[in-house]
Structure 1
Amino acid sequence: MCKLQNKPPELKDYFCSFTGFHYGNSSDVTAVSSPSLLTLTPSLLFRGETAPSSQLLSSSLLLLFQSRSLQAGIIGREKMRAAAHTLAAVLALFAAVSGSQAEVIDDILSSLNRGASFLERQHEHINLDGVVGFLMLQAELKEAVRTWPHTDTVSWAQRTTAVALVKRLDQSFEKAVTALQQNDAKYYREFEPLLSWSFWLIPQGWSSTDASLVYSSTMTTECYDEQLSDKCLTLLLGTWKMNGTPCIVTKPCRDTMTQFGCPHYSLSHQLLYFMIGKMRGCTNLLKGDTRPSRANMTERSYEKIFCSNMMKTNQDIIKDGLTEQTVDIFIENILICGLAGFSDFYKADWLQHILRLQDEEVGCFGRDKSIISQIIGDELLEQLQPHRRVKRREKILPDGCSSHMTAVAVGALGGYLNYYLAEQDITKRPLS
């Protein structure tokens, strides 16, 4: 089953039986003369007899340890057995953690599949924010598929599920975007650049928020309304007029989007303003800001300040208990700050809060069955007033589902998926 090079024949049986290598013929495992080198021949991996990865790693490390001990002659059999047991315990713990993470990824993919079914049924009714949230998810899924560490059958099956999900979403987006264009042509044109998954950039590295950046006090009401936010975004996107110049930053927009102390949606949209500017390719968003107190501020500085305060908001929401009034902004903060690269928003217990909010029947998030009859009446009124502007931030659908909450929830889940897949990549761990 195995052979030793430059080893006394009387050690062969002990060495081979102790390591437990029983895969293939004698050429499969070779302990070489160098105490620091161990080789496994490729034939082990390509005959359909591959050992489980943890077992293979355990045996490989044990073989290396024994090679060293036999040559040095200072470690006895009992010490080697103790070392083997310790190694086995470590590997068992590693396998348990990996298995637990695989289960979480299964839960995320299952939830996203139900969300995709919801989009397939409601693509004609979902508003612009709803479609954008699903497009953020699509960008995250495509990145996940591209980088998926498919090292075993379970992981490979999960990747296959993600690939199928991407295809389903692609088919729904074409219909949803067409419906948006028909329902509100002007609004569609103003935000058309956002209606492509390729616009949304996925973080390639992680940072953490800083509690010392939390405001000493915040305003009790929003700092600005949706109309001002929309105007500033169209100036960045270049859609403020036909063939408009992009990356325009007016003083009112700059002052508004860099104002400290804003709460809730004003705060999250300040962050979104900087993110969209970066994704649009705009540079020097802060050019012209002559305030001495802001002289050393960068765009990333603002992002960190905003997300640090959004983290405090979410922590307070959890401390006080999630309510119908706070759950939407809670999830939106996870989505946007996660997309900005702040990994401390991807908390395991926050993920469970999101998963529990999904309606098992229709797959959306934030469903209120008690108002379905009222919504049907509103939908009829909307049909009688075809030029009535659909509010971007929220729209309750005929089945009682929240378009906005569903959008931010699926987007946040896509962020969790990418984070879990990238967690083992040392280059993407949080920066201090």
Structure 2
Amino acid sequence: MRAAGLQLAAVLVLIAAVSGGSQAEVIDDILGSLSRAASFLERQHEHINLDGVLGYFMMQAELKEAIRTWPHSDPVSWAQRTTAVALAKRLDQSLEKAVTAVQQNDPKYYREFEPVLSWSFYVIPQTWRATDPSLVYSSTMTNECYDEQLGDKCLTLLLGTWKMNGTPCIVTKPCRDTMTRFGCPHYSLSHQLLYFMIGKMKGCTNLLKGDTRASRANMTEHSYKKIFCSNMMKANQDLIRDGLTEQMADIFMENILMCGMAGFSDFYKADWLQQILRRQDEEVGCFGRDKSIISQIIGDELLEELQPHRRVKRREKILPDGCSSHTTGVAVGAVGGYLNYYLTEQDITKRPLS
């Protein structure tokens, strides 16, 4: 218990040192960021693609969990909760409009992923654990080892949307082999984790059933999550060490979003939050905005249509104002996770497991 108390104190000191203020001020910063992102969604709900909308649903799930468990500590905290409640109501309205637009703009993709287009699908961590540096791969492939088309198929087999009224929780050998492959980098790694997370949230059991490899005999779903997030932690640390570029910020934030939601609290570093917040466009509220790219949008979208699987970052869409739909989605989901985690830190019954 004393160790947990020291850990909490260290976190609070770090937050104050990085933000120049108290935890209440950090939560104000988070709520302000999420509010600006909500305003962006309200304006652009007709154009944000499914992947961007998914990030907002994750944010909404985290926001609603934060509201449910908000500490009744002081008037400032309670005023912040009131702000969060109003924000959640705004999101309910704009997400409903955004889902309708996705259904009209991309009906096949919508049908395949309809089950995850609800905040109630997502399970927010109730306890926390840390990654393990000893699980980092000795070597990592230089190229992605994840095929987007196969990946989408594997997810629809879990969700039961591979056909009308399809049976859910189906795991084929190609899916299992792909999702348990070691040494994958970047988006391949985060999508392997996503597979296990969606399987759990859908209520699928025995995702590893049928794996006869002796070397994997004692592996559980949690084992894979810990391996993946330990490697995603190493990837993020390397990105920070080398100087986080705009090109790599998307995967950096996706790792925080995914592993934070998987319950790994060491992704919620205070300086990493600042890395995310400073990438929000003050003018329009999105993330990943490149004003110089606006004139290139038509050409980029044409190239995307000609080569729909040229990258594993799912279906990216650059919006008319130069904003990235995917980057905005992962950023708001990651920031929402910080809110829930920092509030958990105030609750002595929900501190990280040592």
Question: By how many angstroms is 1:428 displaced?
Answer: 2.3
1:126 & 1:210 partners in 2: Cα distance?
A: 36
* Of 304, 325, 334, the match for 2:226: 304
1:216 & 1:430 partners in 2: Cα distance?
A: 28
Name the SS for the 2:24 alignment partner: helix
1:276 & 1:427 partners in 2: Cα distance?
A: 27
| TM-score for both structures, normalised by structure 2 | 0.90
Q: Residue 376 of structure 1 contacts residue 398 of structure 1 at CA under 8 Å; is this kept in 2?
A: no
Listed one character per residue, the Cα deviations across residues 355-389 of structure 1 (whole Å, up to 9, x for unaligned) are 0000000000010001112226767x79xx9xx99
User: Residue 174 in 1 paired to residue 96 in 2?
Assistant: yes
- Show the counterpart of 1:144: 66
Question: By how many angstroms is 1:353 displaced?
Answer: 0.4
- Show the counterpart of 1:357: 279
2:300 & 2:229 partners in 1: Cα distance?
A: 36
* Of 205, 212, 236, the match for 2:158: 236
1:250 & 1:375 partners in 2: Cα distance?
A: 38
Question: By how many angstroms is 1:153 displaced?
Answer: 1.3
- Show the counterpart of 1:62: none
Q: How does 1:146-295 map to 2 (within 5 A)?
A: 146-295=68-217
Q: How does 1:276-425 map to 2 (within 5 A)?
A: 276-375=198-297, 392-425=314-347
2:116 & 2:344 partners in 1: Cα distance?
A: 25
Listed one character per residue, the Cα deviations across residues 79-98 of structure 1 (whole Å, up to 9, x for unaligned) are xxxxxxxxxxxxxx9xx89x
- Show the counterpart of 2:52: 130
- For 1:204, the aligned partner's letter is Q
Listed one character per residue, the Cα deviations across residues 22-42 of structure 1 (whole Å, up to 9, x for unaligned) are xxxxxxxxxxxxxxxxxxxxx
Q: Residue 144 of structure 1 contacts residue 418 of structure 1 at CA under 8 Å; is this kept in 2?
A: yes
Q: Residue 127 of structure 1 contacts residue 392 of structure 1 at CA under 8 Å; is this kept in 2?
A: no
| TM-score for both structures, normalised by structure 1 | 0.74
- For 2:154, the aligned partner's letter is C
Question: By how many angstroms is 1:393 displaced?
Answer: 3.4
- Show the counterpart of 1:28: none
Q: Residue 218 of structure 1 contacts residue 262 of structure 1 at CA under 8 Å; is this kept in 2?
A: yes
- For 2:231, the aligned partner's letter is N
Name the SS for the 1:312 alignment partner: helix
Listed one character per residue, the Cα deviations across residues 241-291 of structure 1 (whole Å, up to 9, x for unaligned) are 000000000011001100000000000000000000000000000011111
Name the SS for the 1:206 alignment partner: coil
Larger Rg: 1
Q: Residue 141 of structure 1 contacts residue 162 of structure 1 at CA under 8 Å; is this kept in 2?
A: yes
Listed one character per residue, the Cα deviations across residues 338-360 of structure 1 (whole Å, up to 9, x for unaligned) are 00000000000000000000000
Name the SS for the 1:353 alignment partner: helix
1:418 & 1:136 partners in 2: Cα distance?
A: 12
Q: Residue 150 of structure 1 contacts residue 159 of structure 1 at CA under 8 Å; is this kept in 2?
A: no
Change beyond 3 A, Cα 1:147–1:298: same
2:349 & 2:180 partners in 1: Cα distance?
A: 31
Question: By how many angstroms is 1:427 displaced?
Answer: 3.3
Larger RCO (CA under 8 A, 6+ residues apart): 2
2:120 & 2:314 partners in 1: Cα distance?
A: 21
- Show the counterpart of 1:40: none
- Show the counterpart of 1:36: none
1:186 & 1:313 partners in 2: Cα distance?
A: 33
User: Residue 112 in 1 paired to residue 28 in 2?
Assistant: no
| Structure 2 segments unaligned to the other structure (5+ residues) | 1-12
- For 2:193, the aligned partner's letter is L
Aligned length: 332
- For 1:411, the aligned partner's letter is G
- For 1:365, the aligned partner's letter is F
2:295 & 2:214 partners in 1: Cα distance?
A: 56
Q: How does 1:54-73 map to 2 (within 5 A)?
A: none
- Show the counterpart of 2:4: none
- For 1:332, the aligned partner's letter is E
- For 2:44, the aligned partner's letter is Q
Q: Residue 268 of structure 1 contacts residue 310 of structure 1 at CA under 8 Å; is this kept in 2?
A: yes
Q: Residue 128 of structure 1 contacts residue 392 of structure 1 at CA under 8 Å; is this kept in 2?
A: no
1:378 & 1:206 partners in 2: Cα distance?
A: 41
Identity in percent: 85
| Structure 1 segments unaligned to the other structure (5+ residues) | 1-92
2:300 & 2:271 partners in 1: Cα distance?
A: 36
RMSD, matched Cα: 2.0
- Show the counterpart of 1:72: none
2:232 & 2:133 partners in 1: Cα distance?
A: 10
